[in-house]
Amino acid sequence: MKDEKTESLFQAYEETTIEIFQSEKQIEDLGWSEYFVITAWNPFSEQLSLDENRRRNSELEKDLLDIRAELLKAIGRSNDWKWFEESFAVRNIDVSEIVQKAKNYQQNAIFQITTEGRKVISCLD
Annotated domain spans of the chain? 4-122
- The fraction of the chain above a pLDDT of 90, given in percent, is 68
The CA angle 115-118-123, to the nearest 5 degrees, is: 130
Q: Please, what is the average pLDDT of the chain?
A: 91
CB 38 within 8 A of CB 101: yes
pLDDT of residue 73: 95
21-59 pLDDT tens trace: 887 777 777 888 899 999 999 999 999 999 999 999 999
Tens digit of each residue's pLDDT (9 = 90 or more) over 89-105: 999 999 999 999 999 99
